[in-house]
Amino acid sequence: MYYCDFDHVYDYIYDIFTNEYAWIHNCHIQGPFLAEIKTNLQETVNHANLDRSLYLYSGHDVNVVALWRALGFEELLDPDYGASLVLELHEEVEQDSFFVKLFYRNNTKVEIPMELNMPFCEDPCTYKRFIQHIESLIPADWEAECQN
């Protein structure tokens, strides 16, 4: 009978989501995705893409956790099936400004998602501050950094 010790695999996965390594690892994983979010938000703010009002992405629990960590949350997260993070861009027309809201829905049975305050940002989180944060996580040369 063949026995495979998965303790090292478990330890590696646990490290990815719980310690300092998670920050570096997840920003490299999330870099291209955050770059796309940034582009989509910029186009909306600049009224460059009026054909779209919603962008939807699908992934697994590790994707939800990676985005959770990239957005500055340190708490352990064990997403249930159907869990989602929702980013909303709001416009304050009278002040000619935009802000970003974040919601978490931990499964499909939750009717109203929970609004979260992002750790790196005051409430409401201004568009400018949100973009500054995600820009700090987008590698300048993702392909070169991923070869290491």
Please report which confidence band the pLDDT of residue 126 belongs to, taking 50, 70 and 90 as the band edges: very high
Q: Where are the domains of the chain?
A: 7-146
Q: Please determine, for residue 11, whether its predicted confidence score (pLDDT) is greater than 90.
A: no
Higher pLDDT, 20 or 114: 114
Task: List own/partner pairs for 54-60 with CB under 8 A and 24 or more apart.
Answer: 57/33
**Half-sphere exposure of residue 60, counting CA atoms within 13 Å on the CB side?**
1
Multiple choice CATH, 7-146, 3.40.50.620, 3.40.50.300, 3.30.70.3170, 3.40.50.1240:
3.40.50.1240
Please state, in angstroms and rounded to a whole number, the distance separating the CA atoms of residues 105 and 37.
19
pTM above 0.85, yes or no: no
Q: Percent of the chain scored above 70 by pLDDT?
A: 78
